[in-house]
Every structure is written in structure tokens, then in C-alpha cells.
Amino acid sequence: MQFDDRLQTVLRFRADGAVTRRIQLRQLLDLLGTSPSEARGEALDAAYDRLVELAQEIPEDDRAAMIGGSGLRLRSPRLVSALAGGEPRVAAAALHRAQ
């Protein structure tokens, strides 16, 4: 059995500056974007809560660019749905990037 604690590690990361908040957002997008659709748990819920917090601290254009940029895999219906319900540019980038 393998234990994956990457999500908990990212959530423990102290993102108290503009650069570190962007790093944490990108890491969360990467991890949540490839999480299985049946995945559940406290860490996953905490990660989605943190996305909401980061959305209040990182401008819409920056988040849209991050989501629309190359390399991001959006395979999680839950994440695509969460992003698509947000601001127009973020939603458009998420729907464009969704797989």
C-alpha cells in the first residue's frame, strides 16, 4: 500500500506572500486536477476551501493565465465545476483546459 500525502504537504505550506500564494495555487490545481472523481476526504475538502481563499488573494487574470497555461491537466469534474462557477475568465480557461 502506498500513502500519498502530497495534498496535506501543500496545505501545510505557509503561503504568506504573493509569490508563495501563486505557487500554492498551482500545486493545488495540479493535484486536484488529476484527483480521481470518486476521491473524498477532509484533505480534499480543505484543498477546495483553500482554493476559495486563494481566489480572493490572486487576481482573476493571473488565475486564468495559470489555469489556461500549458502543462495543467484538468481531469477532475469536481475541480472543473468549481472553477467554471467562478469569474468569467477563470471559467473560460477551465472549460478550455478540461479533459
Whole-number pLDDT of residue 70: 77
Q: For residue 89, give the amino acid letter.
A: R
The model's pTM is 0.89
Distance of CA 33 to the CA centre of its chain: 7
Whole-number pLDDT of residue 22: 96
Q: Would you tell me the crossing angle of helices 77-84 and 42-57 to the nearest 10 degrees?
A: 30
Whole-number pLDDT of residue 3: 52
Pick out the chain residues at pLDDT < 50.
Answer: 1-2
